[in-house]
Amino acid sequence: MKIKILIPVYNDWKSVSKLIDEINNLSIDQEFLISIMIVNDASSHDRQDEEKNLENIQSIKILNMKKNQGHARCIATGLKYIFEKEDFDYVIPMDGDGEDRPEEIKEFLNQIKNSNNKPIVGERIKRSENLIFKICYQIHKLITLTFTGKSIKFGNFTCLPKITVEKMVNEKATWNSFSGSLSKIEKDFLSIPSARGIRYFGPSKMSFSNLLKHSLSIISVFRSAVLIRSALFIVFYILFIKNNASLITATPLILLLVMIYSISNLALRENMEEFDNSFKNIEDTTKIK
């Protein structure tokens, strides 16, 4: 069974090198053939050439992008490239910095045997960030559930059968939000418990502003449900505060309108034409194994 591990990277080559070593050192059943696809998001410094003895990895290919487009679009381009040009059975997208723990790949592979071609997601059970970030992350999940009706407890770290990859590359939301798109096209998942790892090198790149954009991007995938629920909230909230209206009591409405405006803008990123033409942003491919 052919497994493709898809890793987006921007400048963090040192971490990716360590991740590849750790994947190679996993004790994986011989029925699985592991290959790695790296999407280089127009890094501003070059990868250092290294001689590695990677006996447990079949091949490693790098897609070098002409211009930086961000994490979600790197994964989208990688999925499209793998689906159209590679021979595979499953794709495992994962971060290259250590926060997606390589040892959990084995848990994905164990689940494949009884998955009946369902996607498998890594449900976060533990995070490694500070308390404030953890609180913000819980708020993000609550807001997403409230306005979309979706409880999304996973990120990019998943294991996707070929049939799901095909759906993903034909869904415009994939160009904007990986987890939002996957939740939209698939209703039935299997899951493994996934603890957020600690970055191999340097601090986490997931800032509060990045988390906010990530959260709103997911919500924007389900904007129809958001608009309906928001309209109902506005009607009931106005009736609730009509005898006590003030700038303070109107604050939730203002914040809601700001959120609707933001997700409307983010929804414009769902551009199927750009997604279909994403290969035009590939400068070249480099095969290092």
Does the pLDDT at position 211 exceed 80? no
Q: What is the pLDDT of residue 139?
A: 81
Instruction: Give 32-76 pLDDT, tens digit per residue.
Output: 999 999 999 999 887 877 777 899 999 999 999 999 999 999 999
* pLDDT at residue 133, rounded to an integer: 67
The residue behind tokens 């979706």 is 150
Instruction: Return the structure tokens found at 186.
Output: 């698939």
- pLDDT bucket at 149, cuts 50 / 70 / 90: confident
- Structure-model confidence comparison of residues 204 and 98, the more confident one: 98
Q: Cβ(57)–Cβ(81) under 8 Å?
A: no
User: Is the whole model's pTM more than 0.75, yes or no?
Assistant: yes
Q: How many CB atoms lie within 10 A of CB 182?
A: 26
Q: Is the dihedral of CA 234, 240, 246, 247 positive or negative?
A: negative
Please name each of the domains of the chain with its CATH number. 2-287 (3.90.550.10)
More confident: 90 or 248: 90
The model's pLDDT over 113-132, given as tens digits with 9 standing for 90+, comes to 889 999 999 998 765 556 77
pLDDT recorded at residue 109 = 95
Residue 232's Cβ-count burial label (10 Å; 0-12, 13-18, 19+) is: exposed
245: pLDDT strictly greater than 70: yes
